[in-house]
Structure formats: C-alpha cells, structure tokens
Amino acid sequence: MQATRIIAIRHGETAWNVDTRLQGHLDIALNAKGLWQAEQVARVLAGEPIEAVYTSDLLRAWHTARAIAQSTEAPLVARQDLRERCFGSFEGKTHAELEAQWPEASLRWRQREPDWAPPGGESLLALRQRINRTVAALAQQHLGGQIVLVAHGGVMDVLYRLATGQDLQAPRTWQLGNAAINRLLWTADGLTLVGWGDTGHLEEATLDEGSA
C-alpha cells in the first residue's frame, strides 16, 4: 500500500501563546522567539526531501512555513482548511478571562465536549472532520513522497488523536510544542504515528548560542 510521509509542524511562538490568549482565526504574528524557532526548524529540515509545504494561511503559520519552504526549496501552498479551530466569541480572551466571563461555557470547553462549539465557533467534531478530510486530500497527491504541514496547536492535537485512535475527550498526555517536529504516515487506512514532539533542534541551537 502506497504511503505519504508527513512532517507536521506547529507554528512558532506568538505573544498570545505566552499570554494563554486564544487566537483561533485571529491573525497574530510570530514574536521574536517564534521567528527564531521558525529559522531553527527550517535549518534542520533543509536536507529533507520534501515535495511541498502546505500551511494555514494565518500569519503565524505562514511565516513558519515560508522559512521551511525557502530552506528546502519546496513549493509553498496556503490553505484555509489548515487553520486553527475557530473559537468564535472566545477569540482574544485568556483562559482566566473566559472562566470569569463565561464560567459554564468555559467548563464545557475545558471538558472537551465533542459536539459543543463556542458562540460563532467550531466544535471539536467539526475540526476533526475538517482536518481528516484535508490531510487525506493533500496526502493523496503525494503518494510515495513527503510533505510538510504547518498549522496550529489544535490541528496538531487532532492529528495525534487520529494517528493513535485517541478519543476527542481523552486527556492529553502529549506535547504540542511550538516548532516541534512531528512525523506521521498516511495510507488509505488513515494516519499512523512515526515520531512526536521532537524539539532537539531548538535545544541544540540554544546550547550553540550559549557557547558562542
């Protein structure tokens, strides 16, 4: 059975990541650390055979993906269907603000109710369906090859759950690090996990800078 190798990357850090502020579809740029992380992941992927880099069209993902595309000389394609989960009226709020302003809705969000959506937003079920459909469509175009997907924390979480059979409400025991390298394999049977949460390129670069 033919397979497509997928390298899935969460965008670099933003100021709103640091503030625990929900970004959703709001177009927040990378902060200085995020730009540095994008450079480091691009550097370590430079030698990989990559047929295409697909990215969410939001700036934080686009800038991360652009660095990877430049280092690998792979074509760069923006896709709205790789965006983060839409959080509707929750967007722009911190976790603490949500709990204070909408305690009942905040609880339903934290309990990961699959069919519940924030007002004007997207449910986890809808997000999973969107990402599953998008990844399958892209992977089918590159059977036998390797592609990069650059997206968001919620997208990475869905990919992990799809690849491991984890329920949408299962407690998360895996990391969703900014600019971490996650590797998956796609076949007609779906996704399988190859490797997850590799941040060695970020740690090594930090050590190199410190010793310079």
Mean pLDDT of 115-139: 97
Write the pLDDT tens digit of every residue in 174-202.
999 999 999 999 999 999 999 999 999 99
pLDDT at position 208 over 70: no
Percent with pLDDT over 90 in the chain: 94
Catalytic residue status for 91: no
Write the pLDDT tens digit of every residue in 61-119.
999 999 999 999 999 999 999 999 999 999 999 999 999 999 999 999 999 999 999 99
Tell me the helix, strand and coil percentages in the chain, rounded to 5. Answer: 45, 20, 35
Write the pLDDT tens digit of every residue in 56-73.
999 999 999 999 999 999
pLDDT at position 212 over 80: no
175-to-1, 70, 75, 148, 180 alpha-carbon distances in Å: 30, 27, 28, 19, 9
pLDDT of residue 123: 98
Mean pLDDT of 10-15: 98
| Closest C-alpha among 135, 31, 203 to residue 23 | 31
Confidence at 204, pLDDT banded by 50, 70, 90: low
Mean pLDDT of 35-49: 97
Nearest 5°: phi and psi at 206? -65, -45
pLDDT at position 3 over 60: yes
Confidence at 206, pLDDT banded by 50, 70, 90: low
Which residue of the set 84, 142, 152, 201 is catalytic?
A: 84
Query: Which run of H or of E encompasses 52?
Result: strand 52-56
Catalytic residue status for 209: no
Mean pLDDT score across all residues of the chain: 95
Mean pLDDT of 152-166: 98
pLDDT of residue 211: 31
Residue 192 β-bridge partners = 185
pLDDT at position 130 over 70: yes
More confident residue, 178 or 209: 178
